[in-house]
């Protein structure tokens, strides 16, 4: 057979492109597998930067006592995405704890002096009986802050995370008051994020007035960057001091503080100081004087009358020979 010069075969050439792409995909997949953590860290870093950016935005609203719902919900959404992608990182649970804490503030809770003095006097039970909607969010924040510590031991020293735990303990009331006090004292307020400082001062004042740690209470009151933001009046500061001294068994100094609290207005502080003064005389084994104070206050006590009668019944039950003008049978 003769071939013409420069003859080309018309046989179809093999197409190697699919094979090349297939091999390239395998190579890239292998690289992605072996370096998957590095790749994940790159994207996690981006998401974390975005979370911090969103946090800076909503901090301004919180510091002005005007948290924005859309900002907090955006932070919550980003925190959930971050935690899903990084389930073994302590910071993931810390962000979730923060988002629940921010949502708690969104419900309308304010770290004001009026709420502080009432809870310091009654404890959290009465407050939560009026509105228990706060509890699920506080519980969620508390649990995630604990998870952050469990996943990453370094979070045991993370100031913001320790505050979230202490705040949860204060409201849950599962920890002893002395243990709560030790936890609060261990936190350096200078290292706290700005939107958490007022809450920390509030919890410190509450915890120390409930536990009887007057030194820590006075130390917190003296820090302008803490208690100053709460706008406490002198009467409110004296009332918290009196409560702390009372719970420490320092009755004489407590009486001295209480007498600076009372004024002509029969407000919550005046009424509470009178009832507390009666309790002190009762505990000092001066029940006639205690009953006399309760009888004096009763006509103008308004909705505090049942509280007065409850204490009077307790006194008379222990000292049945005492007589009183109070209507204990009602």
Buried residues in 192-221 as b, exposed as e (16+ CB within 10 A) = beebbbbbbbbbbbbbbbbbbbbebbeebb
Distance CA 3, CA 6 (A): 9
Assess whether 226 and 315 both reside in one domain.
no
Tell me, yes or no, whether 26 lies in a domain: no
- Picking from 194, 222, 254, the residue at the C-terminal end of a domain is 254
Assess whether 157 and 291 both reside in one domain.
no
Assess whether 174 and 283 both reside in one domain.
no
Give the CA radius of gyration of the chain: 32
Tally of CB atoms within 10 A around 161: 24
Please state the domain count of the chain: 2
173: containing domain: 35-254
Assess whether 119 and 187 both reside in one domain.
yes
Assess whether 237 and 318 both reside in one domain.
no
- Picking from 254, 289, 306, the residue at the C-terminal end of a domain is 254
Assess whether 236 and 282 both reside in one domain.
no
Tell me, yes or no, whether 106 lies in a domain: yes
User: 44: buried, middle or exposed (CB in 10 Å: 19+, 13-18, 0-12)?
Assistant: middle
Assess whether 113 and 248 both reside in one domain.
yes
Render 125-168 in DSSP notation, one character per residue: HHHHHH--THHHHHHHHHHHHHHHHHH-GGGGG-HHHHHHHHHH
Q: What is residue 117's DSSP assignment?
A: H
Angle at 166 between CA 69 and CA 237, to 5 degrees: 90
pLDDT at site 312: 96
Assess whether 174 and 310 both reside in one domain.
no
- Helix (H, G, I), strand (E, B), or coil: what is residue 59? helix
pLDDT tens for the 330 residues of the chain, in order: 443 444 444 444 555 556 555 556 565 555 544 544 444 444 445 788 899 999 998 898 888 888 889 999 999 999 999 999 999 999 999 999 999 999 999 988 888 899 999 999 998 888 777 777 888 999 999 999 999 999 998 888 899 999 999 999 998 888 888 899 899 999 999 999 999 999 999 999 999 999 999 999 999 998 866 566 678 999 999 999 999 999 999 999 999 999 999 888 889 999 999 999 999 999 999 999 999 999 999 999 999 999 999 999 999 999 999 999 999 886
Q: What is residue 291's DSSP assignment?
A: H
Tell me, yes or no, whether 183 lies in a domain: yes
Tell me, yes or no, whether 271 lies in a domain: yes
Assess whether 176 and 301 both reside in one domain.
no
Tell me, yes or no, whether 27 lies in a domain: no
Instruction: Yes or no: say if 168 and 180 are a contact pair by the CB < 8 Å rule.
Output: no
Distance CA 194, CA 105 (A): 15
pLDDT at site 35: 41
Distance CA 61, CA 108 (A): 13
Tell me, yes or no, whether 66 lies in a domain: yes
Assess whether 70 and 217 both reside in one domain.
yes
Distance CA 116, CA 250 (A): 22
Instruction: Yes or no: say if 203 and 217 are a contact pair by the CB < 8 Å rule.
Output: no
Distance CA 101, CA 193 (A): 13
Distance CA 198, CA 91 (A): 23
In order of 214, 252, 261, 269, the CA distances from 256 in angstroms are 14, 6, 9, 15
Tell me, yes or no, whether 193 lies in a domain: yes
pLDDT at site 2: 41
Assess whether 242 and 267 both reside in one domain.
no
How many helices (H) and strands (E) in the chain? 16, 0
The residues, any chain, with a CB within 8 Å of residue 98's CB and separated by 6 or more, are: 55, 75, 79, 141, 160, 164
Tell me, yes or no, whether 22 lies in a domain: no
Assess whether 79 and 157 both reside in one domain.
yes
CA atoms within 13 A on the CB side of 232: 30
Distance CA 141, CA 184 (A): 17
């Amino acid at each position: 057979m003769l071939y013409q010069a420069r003859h080309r075969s018309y046989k179809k050439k093999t197409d190697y492109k699919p094979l090349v792409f297939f091999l390239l995909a395998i190579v890239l997949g292998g690289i992605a597998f072996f370096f998957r953590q590095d790749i994940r860290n790159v994207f996690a870093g981006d998401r974390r930067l975005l979370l911090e950016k969103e946090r800076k935005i909503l901090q301004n609203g919180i510091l002005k006592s005007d948290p924005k719902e859309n900002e907090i919900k955006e932070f919550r959404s980003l925190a959930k995405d971050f935690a899903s992608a990084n389930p073994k990182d302590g910071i993931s649970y810390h962000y979730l704890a923060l988002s629940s804490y921010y949502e708690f503030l969104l419900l309308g809770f304010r770290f004001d002096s009026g709420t502080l003095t009432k809870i310091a006097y009654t404890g959290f039970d009465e407050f939560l009986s009026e509105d228990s909607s706060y509890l699920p969010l506080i519980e969620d924040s508390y649990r995630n802050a604990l998870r952050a510590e469990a996943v990453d031991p370094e979070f045991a020293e993370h100031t913001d995370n320790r505050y979230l735990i202490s705040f949860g303990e204060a409201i849950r009331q599962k920890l002893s008051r002395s243990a709560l006090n030790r936890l609060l004292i261990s936190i350096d307020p200078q290292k706290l994020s700005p939107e958490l400082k007022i809450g920390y001062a509030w919890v410190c004042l509450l915890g120390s007035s409930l536990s009887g740690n007057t030194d820590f209470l006075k130390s917190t009151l003296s820090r302008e960057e803490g208690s100053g933001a709460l706008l406490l009046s002198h009467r409110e500061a004296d009332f918290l001091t009196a409560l702390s001294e009372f719970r420490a068994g320092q009755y004489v100094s407590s009486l001295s503080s209480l007498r600076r609290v009372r004024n002509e207005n029969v407000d919550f502080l005046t009424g509470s100081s009178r009832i507390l003064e009666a309790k002190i005389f009762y505990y000092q084994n001066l029940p006639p004087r205690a009953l006399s104070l309760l009888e004096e206050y009763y006509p103008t006590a308004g909705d505090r009358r049942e509280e007065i009668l409850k204490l009077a019944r307790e006194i008379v039950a222990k000292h049945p020979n005492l007589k009183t003008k109070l209507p204990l049978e009602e």
